[in-house]
Amino acid sequence: MNTLPIKLPDVGEGVTEAELVEWHVEVGDLVREDDVIAAVMTDKATVEIPSLYDGKIIARTGEVGSVLAIGSDLVLIETDADGPAAAPPDPVEEVTPDPVVVAPAPPKAPAPVAHGTARPPRPENAPVLASPAIRARSRQAGLDLRQVTGTGPAGRITPADLDAVFERGPAPVATKPAKRVGSEQIKVVGMRRKIAERMALANARIPHITVVEEVDVTALEDLRGQLNKTRGDQPKLTLLPILAAALCKAVVDHPEMNAHFDDDAGFITRHAPVHIGIATMTDAGLTVPVLKHAEALGLFQSATEIARLAEAARTSKATRDEMSGSTITITSLGPLGAIATTPIINHPEVAILGVNKMAIRPHWDGQQFVPRKMMNLSASFDHRVIDGWDAAVFVQKLKTLLETPALIFVEA
């Protein structure tokens, strides 16, 4: 029987460390070769680590949230297999997470009163003065004596007091809301920590300017409806592929928007290909898979690829390449969206397009108010390299394309 280490493998080119986000085994578990023992994450891509041998787990390294170096021991396994000799390990301490303080259950409400009660007669926790016969009678009736006013000496409850309560019939019981106590500590790990780091970086280093514009998307929605009627076996078109096409069209005249700003080196890199980050909500948090070369895709090709990327992101199967390399980003809350938002730029990009919810609103056509499908765009820009005038002109270009969608598909 050998004791062998299973090390954290190289999970991507240039990656030197990874965050441990999930254990799939406990010390003492028996595993077979290729069973998943842990999951690690780097650059928003989650990778499952399989066992290399059949055997018994005798030690684990680190806890969820730990950052491990590539090549370091992940677990030690007792196995009949041959492998690289392992030095006798120091005992690996299983780290117990900080205890979670759980709020105690609120006190149970008094038992239902069968015949009714009076208002609370005495201070809370004051003793109830009553004879054994009175107590027996109240138990049989399901009556809480704490809710009965005693008229006898020192507040003692008399038979007449019980008779008076029963004669009055049911009365509302004044209840006091229970106090909630305790707190819960939730460690920020995995995807949530990556999101927090990137948001803090973008907010700290990028001075944002956001331009909000109202867009009449009635014609666009009519076009989308017609295309979906004749789509055949192709995927149903959502708004995103059309927005991606409009974005590709707009950056032709505004290449400064499809760029990265290296503020450390002081260089702006304008990109010819349009690689659009599509912000996607998953169970683990917000991820941004990338629609590569959006400028070369037709609407239905774009729809197919967006759906594939979103599914890969939601199931944590997106590759490192699929989660990196965006040059500009689209974010949308769909039908849950607000009237306007202030999207945060995906560093080191310089622009992000936010899509808000669509609604039918009255619109003045020059002669009268008519119902139109309206939607607000919220676009944020890096104000260090994008002036407010240029930002407004770019948003107006997008507005024109979306309100006259035929222009999206007309060659210059």
Q: Write out the catalytic residue numbers.
A: 383, 387
Sign of CA dihedral 180, 104, 110, 131: negative
Residues 285/350/203/354 CA torsion (nearest 10 deg)? -50
Pairwise CA distance, residues 236 & 224, whole Å? 9
Token digits for 133?
């016969």
Q: Are 164 and 143 in contact (CB under 8 A)?
A: no
Q: Name residue 191's amino acid.
A: M
End-to-end CA distance of the chain: 72
Find residue 226's DSSP bridge partners. Answer: none
Give dist(CA 213, CA 394) in Å, integer.
11
d(CA 262, CA 259): 10
CA atoms within 13 A on the CB side of 409: 9
Taking the C-alpha atoms of residue 80 and residue 69, their distance in angstroms, rounded to an integer, is 27
Counting every residue written for the chain, the total comes to 412
CA separation for the pair 104, 106 (Å, rounded): 6
Using alpha carbons, select from 367, 380, 377, 383 the residue that is nearest to residue 397. 377
The answer to whether the beta carbons of residues 277 and 246 sit under 8 Å apart is no
- Whether omega for the bond prior to residue 348 falls within 30 degrees of 0, making it cis, is yes
Q: Which of 149, 166, 171, 169 is nearest to 158 (CA)?
A: 149
List the strands of the sheet with 73-79, edge to edge.
2-7, 73-79, 55-60, 30-31
The residues pairing with 260 across neighbouring beta strands, listed in sequence order, are 269, 349
CB-count burial class (<10 Å; 0-12, 13-18, 19+) for 17: middle
Q: Using CA atoms, how far apart are residues 324 and 83, in angstroms rounded to an integer? A: 36
* Pairing, β 36-42 against β 45-50: antiparallel
- Could you tell me if 271 and 258 are in contact, meaning their C-beta atoms sit under 8 angstroms apart? yes
